[in-house]
Amino acid sequence: MDTLILQSMMRAKLGTFAPLQSLVAQRIYDLVPPDAPMPYVVIGSVQISDRSYGECVTDWEAVASVDVWSRAVGYPQVKAIAIQCDAALADRHPVMNGTRVGWFVPLGQRFLRDPDGLTSHGVLEYQCRYGTR
């Protein structure tokens, strides 16, 4: 199960989507640098199930998370970034290195206040299906 392809696809879609870039620039990480300014997006955990069948078809289903972080007052900025993440991943059937992603379906969004009382955190979850044919 090539999760690197899935992460690369997500990074490419999020990193080249102009409306998202206008909010976070190129601050899209999988490991956040210690001095990274906010707001930023983190490509988070992925849970994968193998749905392959036959000898020549590989097919996986994944639940992938994206985290959004902001220190702007309230939730408006983190929610605006979440909307743009959904839009960036809405493309149907993108292909990268021979792997086709069928879709990214938003499963849900949670918005939390960090214990510091200043940081807003959005947790976005997506279901996707991908593989080679």
For all residues of the chain together, what is the average pLDDT? 86
Sign of the torsion formed by the C-alpha atoms of 72, 113, 32 and 42: negative
- Which is more confidently placed, 81 or 103? 81
Q: How far apart are CA 83 and CA 109, in angstroms?
A: 10
Joined together, the tokens standing for residue 97 give 């290195």
Contact 60, 49 (CB under 8 A): yes
Strands 28-29 and 40-50 come out as parallel
The model's pLDDT over 36-69, given as tens digits with 9 standing for 90+, comes to 999 999 998 888 777 666 666 667 788 999 999 9
In the DSSP assignment, the letter for residue 26 is T
92 DSSP assignment: S
CATH classification (class only), 3-132 = alpha beta
Residue 5 has pLDDT above 80, yes or no: no
pLDDT at 111: 97
Assess whether pLDDT exceeds 60 at residue 133.
no
Q: What is the pLDDT of residues 69-99, one digit of tens each?
A: 999 999 999 999 999 999 999 876 666 666 6
